[in-house]
């Protein structure tokens, strides 16, 4: 498999693909190693993760260089993924021991009063993590770290377009002397399908189409899956907003990573009273952006689209919008002979256009004027997606009121991408944006199966409700049940 730079088109490296039989063999080896890993305490597993964190920091520059070469990201963005993972490791190693600790739930009911209750968390043996090309290292490890802490073994299948940094980072797990419970398999669709066919839990990030296929395959095997799929995130700008901050947020939210984020700002609804001023500020910000192939000198802000297929989608959405009456204010075209697309501002847009309906995943910003907040909410909710959203307002109570009306798994107020950095909060999509959650307690506990262990506190030769059934025993059980269950004297003694 040949890996090419999206910025230059030059070949970076060639790597062997792992076929279905080899995937099954790798997962078989993980199954052998996993019980010993699960037998360690959560704190002992955390100690391995903390050594791995130090290895990532020691190799940060080398990994960031590799990441930049295979994604084309500007240097500022290539440098974000490892600090993000380091933060996640620090957070989850601190919280996982408490989340995974055995506990004794409060007893309730007449029969339960005679039992000891013990709730333990048992990991899924092998977790498969399948990740896309937009944040190859960050997304792979963000899912792998809590799964490892839960006691699972993990196999990561990175995108075939950006496998190099993930493979190199996972080699670091072996370098720190950790048990062989983290592996990487490289390949395209056949490799990913083999992962789904052999693991006990699948965590997938990518398109809704592929996510549905994975959900179907998981259902056939009766294994759980977590899916973070596409987004069409809306930003609402109200007439009392700080327009300078809102414009900066809209431009960064739409164009960070060249718009190749599931939580990118993909449509903006602005109240009529501030629309013109907001637009003026956005135009000013967009025109100042630098587009090009970056090095390690922070010379550029916007990089290329990672794949030719994605570039074609962006072109199609812009062309469709123009054909339906939209106006290009800034940009609007690919840079000839490259994978770069100009930062683009579209106005006069409406919901008949692809750029307002489907995920664009590119450096475009469609802005629509609305009468009031009610129209903004109605349009924001008029989408098959519901990953996250943003509200800008100078009145926090007003913004929170609107946030509670939006059909999205997360809402940022006077901010953009804030929910990505609040690891204690769950992150997950509604509607076609996926199933399950990242971050928060769910990030660790979803990889563990709760097991209820119940034992008798009092142990007569036979329990009162066991055989033989008799009329007198039945009457006593019935009477005691009413006495304990009813909440008024009439029903207790009737």
The angle formed by the CA atoms of residues 307, 171 and 126, to the nearest 5 degrees, is 85
Q: How far, in Å, CA of 344 to CA of 311, rounded?
A: 13
The verdict on 243 and 162 lying in the same domain is no
CATH number of the domain at 52, please: 3.40.605.10
**348 contacts 385 by C-beta, under 8 angstroms:** no
Query: What is the count of structural domains for the chain?
Result: 3
**Within a domain: residue 239?**
yes
- How much is the pLDDT for 202? 98
Quickly tell me which residue has 């990089």 as its tokens: 303
Same-domain status, 46 and 171: yes
101 is a domain residue? yes
Selection from 348, 350, 266, 263 nearest residue 314 by Cα: 266
Give pLDDT, residue 114.
86
**φ and ψ at residue 279, rounded to 5 degrees:** -60, -40
Lowest mean pLDDT among 242-251, 374-383, 452-461: 452-461
**pLDDT score, position 327:** 98
Residue 15 forms part of a structural domain:
yes
What is the pLDDT averaged over residues 341-370?
A: 98
E-assigned strand segments in 98-189: 115-123, 126-130, 153-157, 182-184
Tens of pLDDT, residues 308-354: 999 999 999 999 999 999 999 999 999 999 999 999 999 999 999 99
Cis peptide preceding 468, ω within 30 of 0: yes
DSSP 465-485: TSSSP-HHHHHHHHHHHHHHH
pLDDT (0 to 100) of residue 338: 95
Sequence-separated (6 or more) residues with CB below 8 Å from residue 73? 67, 257, 294, 303
- Asked if pLDDT for residue 108 goes beyond 90, the answer is no
Residues 261, 221: one domain?
no
pLDDT of residue 493: 85
* Of 316, 370, 314, 379, residue with least CA distance to 340: 314
3-state DSSP assignment of residue 128: strand
Same domain for 250 and 295, yes or no, is yes
Give residue 37's pLDDT band: very low, low, confident or very high (50, 70, 90): very high
Q: Is 311 in the same domain as 376?
A: yes
Asked whether 11 and 2 are in contact (CB, 8 A), the reply is: yes
Neighbour-count burial for 119-147, b at 16+ CB within 10 Å, e otherwise? eebebbbbbbbbbbbbbbbbbbbbbbbbb
Confidence of residue 484 (pLDDT cuts 50, 70, 90): confident
Show the 3-state SS of 15-56.
CCCCCHHHHHHHHHHHHHHHHHHHHCCHHHHHHHHHHHHHHH
Question: Which tens digit of pLDDT belongs to each residue from 161-187?
Answer: 999 999 999 999 999 999 999 999 999
Q: Are 243 and 277 in contact (CB under 8 A)?
A: yes
Examine residue 93 and state whether it is found in any structural domain, yes or no: yes
Question: Does residue 143 lie within any of the structural domains?
Answer: yes
Domain assignment of residue 427, yes or no = no
pLDDT at 109: 78
Same domain, 101 and 216: yes
Residue 386 located in a structural domain: yes
Percent of the chain whose pLDDT exceeds 90: 93
Q: Are residues 273 and 204 in the same domain?
A: no
pTM score, whole prediction = 0.95
**Catalytic one among 70, 77, 160, 228?**
228
171 is catalytic: no
Whether the pLDDT of residue 110 is over 80: the answer is no
Both structure tokens of 342: 């100009």
The H helix count followed by the E strand count for the chain is 18, 19
CATH of the domain at 238: 3.40.309.10
Look over the chain and give the mean of its residue pLDDT values, rounded to a whole number: 96
The tokens for 286 are: 């967009």
95, 169, 180, 333 from 146: Cα distances, Å: 10, 16, 16, 41
Write out the residue range of the structural domain in which residue 358 sits: 233-421
* Range 351-365 average pLDDT: 98
Please, is 223 exposed, middle or buried when counting C-beta atoms within 10 Å of its C-beta (0-12, 13-18, 19+)? middle
262 is annotated as an active-site residue: yes
> Same domain, yes or no, for 374 and 486?
no
List pLDDT tens digits, range 242-286: 999 999 999 999 999 999 999 999 999 999 999 999 999 999 999
Only one residue has tokens 């549905």, namely: 212
Q: Are residues 331 and 197 in the same domain?
A: no
- 369 φ, ψ (degrees, to nearest 5): -80, 135
Assess whether 8 and 65 both reside in one domain.
Answer: yes
Quick one: which of 196, 195, 130 has its CA closest to 163?
130
Checking if the pLDDT of 18 tops 90, the result is yes
* 395/412 Cα distance (integer angstroms): 14
Using CB atoms within 10 Å of the CB of residue 364, give its burial: 0 to 12 exposed, 13 to 18 middle, 19+ buried: buried
Residue 213 C-alpha from the chain's centroid: 18
The reply to whether 428 falls in a domain is no
Close Cβ partners of 376 (under 8 Å, ≥ 6 residues apart) = 236, 238, 269, 271, 370, 402
Please name which of 233, 283, 290 lies closest in space to residue 258, comparing C-alpha atoms.
Answer: 290
Residue 41: pLDDT band by 50, 70, 90 thresholds?
very high
Give φ, ψ of 398 to 5 degrees: -65, -45
Catalytic residue among 160, 262, 271, 355: 262
Whether residues 191 and 223 share a domain: the answer is: yes
Torsion 70-71-72-74 (CA) sign? negative
C-alpha 199/C-alpha 194 separation (Å) is 9
In whole angstroms, give the CA distance from residue 290 to residue 137: 25
Q: What is the pLDDT of residue 9?
A: 94
Beta-strand relationship, 388-392 and 126-130: unpaired
Are 151 and 116 in the same domain?
Answer: yes
């Amino acid at each position: 498999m040949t890996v090419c730079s999206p910025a230059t088109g030059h070949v970076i490296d060639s790597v062997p693909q792992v076929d279905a039989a080899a995937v099954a063999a790798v997962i078989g080896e993980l199954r052998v190693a996993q019980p010993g890993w699960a037998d360690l305490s959560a704190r002992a597993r955390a100690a391995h993760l903390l050594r791995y964190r130090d290895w990532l920091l020691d190799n940060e520059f080398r990994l960031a260089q590799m990441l930049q070469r295979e994604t084309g990201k500007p240097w500022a963005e290539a440098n974000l993924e490892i600090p993000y993972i380091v933060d996640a490791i620090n957070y989850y190693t601190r919280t996982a021991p408490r989340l995974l600790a055995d506990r004794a739930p409060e007893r309730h009911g007449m029969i339960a009063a005679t039992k000891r209750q013990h709730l333990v968390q048992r990991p899924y043996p092998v977790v498969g993590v399948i990740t896309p090309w937009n944040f190859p290292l960050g997304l792979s490890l963000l899912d792998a770290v809590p799964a490892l802490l839960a006691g699972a073994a993990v196999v990561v299948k990175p995108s075939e377009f950006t496998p190099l940094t993930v493979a190199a980072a996972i080699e670091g797990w072996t370098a720190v002397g950790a048990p062989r419970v983290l592996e990487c398999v490289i390949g395209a669709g056949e490799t990913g399908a083999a992962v789904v066919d052999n693991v006990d839990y699948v965590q997938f990030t990518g398109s809704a189409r592929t996510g549905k296929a994975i959900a179907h395959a998981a259902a056939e095997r009766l294994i759980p899956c977590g899916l973070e799929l596409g987004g069409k995130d809306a930003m609402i700008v109200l007439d009392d907003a700080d327009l300078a901050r809102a414009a900066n947020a809209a431009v960064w939210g739409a164009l960070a990573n060249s718009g190749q984020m599931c939580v990118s700002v993909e449509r903006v609804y602005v109240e009529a009273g501030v629309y013109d001023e907001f637009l003026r500020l956005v135009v000013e910000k967009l025109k100042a952006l630098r587009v090009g192939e970056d090095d390690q000198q922070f010379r550029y802000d916007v990089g290329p689209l990672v794949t030719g297929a994605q570039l074609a989608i962006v072109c199609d959405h812009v062309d469709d919008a123009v054909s339906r009456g939209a106006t290009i204010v800034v940009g609007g075209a690919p840079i000839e002979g490259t994978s770069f697309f100009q930062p683009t501002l579209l106005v006069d847009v409406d919901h008949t256009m692809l750029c307002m309906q489907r995920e664009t995943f590119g450096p475009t910003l469609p802005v629509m004027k609305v009468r009031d907040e009610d129209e903004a909410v109605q349009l924001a909710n008029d989408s098959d997606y519901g990953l996250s959203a943003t509200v800008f307002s100078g009145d926090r109570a007003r913004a929170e009121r609107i946030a509670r009306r939006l059909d999205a798994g997360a809402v940022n107020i006077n901010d953009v991408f804030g929910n990505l950095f609040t690891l204690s909060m769950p992150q997950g999509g509604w509607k076609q944006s996926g199933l399950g959650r990242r971050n928060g307690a769910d990030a660790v506990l979803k990889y563990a199966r709760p097991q209820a262990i119940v034992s008798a506190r009092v142990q007569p030769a036979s329990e009162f409700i066991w055989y033989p059934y008799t009329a007198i025993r039945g009457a006593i059980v019935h009477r005691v049940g009413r006495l304990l269950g009813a909440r008024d004297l009439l029903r207790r003694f009737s």
